[in-house]
Amino acid sequence: MASRPELILASASPRRLALLNQIGIEPEHLVPAHIDETPEKGELPRKLAQRLADQKAITAQHKAKTTGIAGNALVLAADTVVAVGRRILPKAETMEEASECLRVLSGRSHRVFTAVTMLTPSGQMRKRLVETRIRFKRLSAREIESYLASAEWRDKAGGYAIQGIAGAFVLKLQGSYSAVVGLPLNETVGLLAGEGYPVHFNWLNQSNLTAV
Strand partners, 112: 82, 132
Which one of 36, 54, 79, 155 is the catalytic residue? 79
* Separation between Cα atoms, residue 15 and residue 195, nearest integer Å: 24
The alpha carbons of the chain give a radius of gyration, in whole angstroms, of 18
Q: Give CA angle at 186 (9, 205), nearest 5°.
A: 70
Our answer to whether residue 79 is catalytic in this structure is: yes
Q: What is the DSSP string of the chain?
A: -PPPPPEEE----HHHHHHHHHTT---SEE-------PPPTT--HHHHHHHHHHHHHHHHHHHHHHTT--TT-EEEEEEEEEEETTEEEPB--SHHHHHHHHHHHTTSEEEEEEEEEEE-TTS-EEEEEEEEEEEEPPPPHHHHHHHHHHTTTTT-BTT--TTTGGGGGEEEEES-HHHHHT--HHHHHHHHHHTT--HHHHHHHHHHHHH-
Task: Provide the residue type at 62 as one letter.
Answer: H
Catalytic residue set: 79
